[in-house]
Amino acid sequence: MTFRDPNREAHPAPGQGRFPVGEAITLADLDHDPHPWLARLRDTEPVSWLPALSGWLVTRHDLAVTVMRDSATFTVDDPRFSTARVVGPSMLSLDGAEHGRHRAPFTRGFTRGEVHARLAAFVTGEADRLVAAMRPAGAADARRALAGPLAVAVVAEALGLGDADPATVLDWYAAIVGSVSALAGSHGAGAPGQTGTEAGARDAAAGAAAFGLLSARLSAVIEAVGGPPSLLADAAGAQSGAAVDGLGTREVVSNAAVLMFGGIETTEGMIGNAILHLLRHPAQLALVRADDSLVPNAVEESLRLEPAAAVVDRYATGDIQLAGAMIRRGDLVTVSLAGAGRDPAVFTDPEAFDVRRQNARAHLAFAHGPHFCLGAHLARLEAQAAVQAVLRLPGLRLDPDRPAAPRGLVFRKPPSLHLQWQT
């Protein structure tokens, strides 16, 4: 998950004309349909200065791997990373030994074996239940009726909040994201951390209140004796009794919060994008219908073409040259996971949606290196279950009167996904 600061303090921009493609790109281009622009950047300016981002954009697969693998040179640990200012330091906003200390207690619970053993039945059952509830109507917005509710329910179950009202969890989520956005200046602020408007101040206050409620609930799960098993309880138990290096309750809560929000936002996007790709490509859909063992690879191929998190941010810790670009200490370096996923040097016919693509999993949709997405196995499980459940609806098709397309600068998904089927 990435929360970004649009008012970053960066090194002065390189001389005009050095990066003509990057200089021509607007935020609207990146939000609406970035892929033609990303292809041009990969070909001519694989590390380019974008005034629209006040930073560098990396679009080639090999260079993306280089940046994400080297956390000593390209770090997340920067005061402009606004998420930490709302939920506290976490594995999302730390590097080096501190990152390892925060991540380690959660690692075992999110292995593929643990995720499937503990949550596969719940995920499949919840996906089937949601689709069954949709079925009588003959039409629904799959984002609101399936993708979003499934993501919320699974994250709540994983963290031991299974009895929490999903609407309450979503309220917490929306308030905290709004607070992060306010700190980042997206409501018209000047410097990072200054909201600049009454609306921004209200967002910040609402976010703080929501995080307080979430913290209290998560702390109760951690401290409950004999409570139901959960990944959160396991993470707390993994460090209990440790001395200096153990995580305190507040630190466990901060990490649980970023796992919760990442799990809701990106998993919802994964599900929506996968369904959209399949329904837009009837021949590929027919292959999956004929052989449901292709569902996992169809999800990977969708992630390659349209990762739910399109970019990740890093900050240069020193001056460094990368693919001919001179990056200065403190500069923002944004990695385009979307650009890397369509790199023809890695993927043959990269614009095609091919559910039989042999190297589809070579995408970088879950990032790479120390910050590889901890919840990748769980997100894959959810997307696969949702796709399998929704494809059982007879005559499933996109609503021709309500077209859908992914949107978003950072998180890309269709704002709505209206489907129809036979009742």
Q: In sequence order, what DSSP letters do the residues of 133-187 get, joined into one string?
A: HHGGGSEEEHIIIIIHHHHHHHHHHHTT-TTS-HHHHHHHHHHHHHHHHHHTTTT
Question: Has residue 95 got a pLDDT over 70?
Answer: yes
pLDDT in tens, 113-163: 999 999 999 999 999 999 999 999 999 999 999 999 999 999 999 988 877
Question: Angle at the Cα of 396 (from 393 to 398), degrees rounded to 5?
Answer: 145
Task: Let me know: does 80 contact 315? Beta carbons within 8 Å.
Answer: yes
Using pLDDT thresholds of 50, 70 and 90, give the confidence band for residue 246. Answer: confident
Where is pLDDT greater, at 168 or 384?
384
Quote the mean pLDDT of the chain.
88
- Amino acid at position 128, single letter: D
pLDDT in tens, 271-284: 999 999 999 999 99
- Sequence length of the chain is 423
What is the pLDDT, as a whole number, of residue 204?
75
Cα separation, 72 vs 90, whole angstroms: 17
Question: Has residue 190 got a pLDDT over 50?
Answer: no
Where is pLDDT greater, at 189 or 314?
314
Task: Let me know: does 357 contact 301? Beta carbons within 8 Å.
Answer: yes
What is the pLDDT, as a whole number, of residue 121?
97
Using pLDDT thresholds of 50, 70 and 90, give the confidence band for residue 392. Answer: very high
Question: Has residue 92 got a pLDDT over 70?
Answer: yes
The structural domains of the chain, with segments of one domain joined by +, span: 20-394
Question: Which CATH number applies to 20-394?
Answer: 1.10.630.10
What is the pLDDT, as a whole number, of residue 168?
86
Q: Is 369 left (phi over 0), alpha (psi -120 to 50) or beta?
A: left
Instruction: State mean pLDDT over 385-389.
Output: 98
What is the pLDDT, as a whole number, of residue 163?
79
Q: Which two tokens stand for residue 90?
A: 């976490």
Alpha helices (H) in 54-111, listed in sequence order? 61-69, 83-87, 96-107
User: Whole-prediction pTM value?
Assistant: 0.90
Residue 330, CB half-sphere, CA atoms under 13 Å: how many?
8
pLDDT in tens, 215-229: 888 888 887 756 667
Instruction: State mean pLDDT over 336-364.
Output: 98
What is the pLDDT, as a whole number, of residue 245?
59
Contacts of 273 by beta carbon, 8 Å cutoff, 6+ apart: 302, 303, 305, 306, 308, 406, 412, 413, 414
Using pLDDT thresholds of 50, 70 and 90, give the confidence band for residue 12. Answer: low
What is the pLDDT, as a whole number, of residue 13?
65
Task: Let me know: does 68 contact 369? Beta carbons within 8 Å.
Answer: yes
